[in-house]
Amino acid sequence: MMERIEQAAAALARLGRPEVAVVLGSGLSQVLPLQGERTLRFSDIPGFPAPTVAGHAGEVAVGEVSGRTVLVQRGRVHYYEGHELGEVVFPVRVYAVLGVKVLVLTNASGGIAFGLEPGDLVLLSDHINLLGGNPLRGPNLAQLGPRFPDMTAAYDPELRRRAREVAWDLGITVKEGVYLATTGPSYETPAEIRAFRALGADLVGMSTVPEAIAARHAGLRVLAISCVTNLAAGVSPTPLSHEEVIVITRRKAGELGRLLLALIPKL
Ligand code: HPA
């Protein structure tokens, strides 16, 4: 596995040496244009998994934001596509070997907490892993990190503070919440959402948690920003649809893009 990770990192190193990586999720892949960007499709990076879902482009770009070299991953692979969790987090491990220190994860989510509305941007303060698995299961990659990584401050409080500050300066409202990851691909039932709320979840989605775990294992600092695309099942009076998710994220993309552009120099 380490050899595969190192090969992919060597391929990406030809694009540059970023210290910040940003993963753009469902409907968000176009929010962050880079200056002078060099791109590689997932399929052209040795060992990278192949995404299959609509709205996920599947490319890695390296370029500059305010003079800072940044890597942007447009699209991701999900557990529900059939990939093992180790494959889902493969890109994150590659970025760690490449020298990335800060990982920004974005996603689309359903709002569980009362008061959340479609279009809200929410900084993840913590997560609940209900995927039924952990990407670190199996032999520990000791070159990357320890067997039993601490997850106390998985979502870096200082990075969150800077994100709130930048959002405030831009007049963008950001909230905070706990994200619960389910496997999908079916959306939740109303009973599941009531259960998740009782567990302490504010948001529900099908990504981000594996990547955050792998990033913490490898010592990366993590900031995660969720775009609430819909009220979760039963909270919303209407059925859920992937099209709705894509439409709301596209509508919110401009604001998220402005936030990321202003924030990146400060990460
Ligand atoms: N549930 C799970 N994942 C999601 C949702 C949802 O309601 N909305 C966007 N991603």
Residue 235 has a pLDDT of 86
Q: How many helices (H) and strands (E) does the chain have?
A: 7, 9
Span 164-180, average pLDDT: 97
- 7-21, 47-61, 62-76, 232-246: which has the minimum mean pLDDT? 47-61
Q: How many CB atoms lie within 10 A of CB 173?
A: 11
Residue 256 has what pLDDT? 93
How much is the pLDDT for 53? 61
**Torsion region of 159: left, alpha or beta (phi above 0 gives left; psi -120 to 50 gives alpha):** alpha
Cis preceding-peptide flag for 46 (omega within 30 of 0): no
Closest to 263 (Cα-Cα) out of 168, 177, 126: 168
Which ligand 1 atom minimizes the distance to the CA of 188?
A: 1
Positions annotated as catalytic residues are: 26, 56, 78, 80-81, 108, 206-207, 230, 242
Residue 21 identity? A
Counting the structural domains of the chain, the total is 1
Mean pLDDT of 247-267: 89
Domain ranges, residue 97:
2-266
Could you tell me what percent of the chain has a pLDDT over 70?
Answer: 98
pLDDT band at 64 (very low <50, low <70, confident <90, very high): very high
| Per-residue pLDDT, 54 | 58
Residue 21, pLDDT > 70, answer yes
When comparing pLDDT for 134 and 246, which is higher?
Answer: 134
Domain CATH for 61: 3.40.50.1580
All residues at 6 or more sequence positions from 199 whose CB lies less than 8 Å from its CB, including other chains: 128, 180
pLDDT, tens digit, for every residue of 182-221?
Answer: 999 999 999 999 999 999 999 999 999 999 999 999 999 9
User: Which is higher by pLDDT, 251 or 118?
Assistant: 118
Residue nearest atom 3 of ligand 1, based on CA coordinates: 205
pLDDT, the chain, mean: 93
Instruction: Measure Cα distances from 73 to 31, 58, 151, 154 in Å.
Output: 11, 7, 24, 20
What sign has the CA pseudo-torsion 231, 233, 234, 240? positive
Q: How far is the CA of 86 from the centre of ligand 1 (A)?
A: 22
108 alpha carbon to ligand 1 midpoint, in Å?
7
pLDDT at 244: 79
Lowest mean pLDDT among 84-88, 173-177, 237-241: 237-241
Q: Which stretch of DSSP H or E encloses residue 190?
A: helix 190-199
Ligand 1 mutation pick, 116, 204, 251, max ligand atoms within 8 A of CB? 204
**For residues 49-72, average pLDDT:** 84
Q: Is the pLDDT of residue 57 over 80?
A: no
Q: What is the mean pLDDT of residues 165-191?
A: 96
Say how many CA atoms lie within 13 Å of 188 toward its Cβ. Answer: 28
pLDDT at 237: 80
Average pLDDT of span 156-181? 97
Measure the N-to-C terminal CA separation of the chain; round to a whole number of Å: 29
The average pLDDT across 121-129 equals 98
Rounded mean pLDDT of 143-154?
97
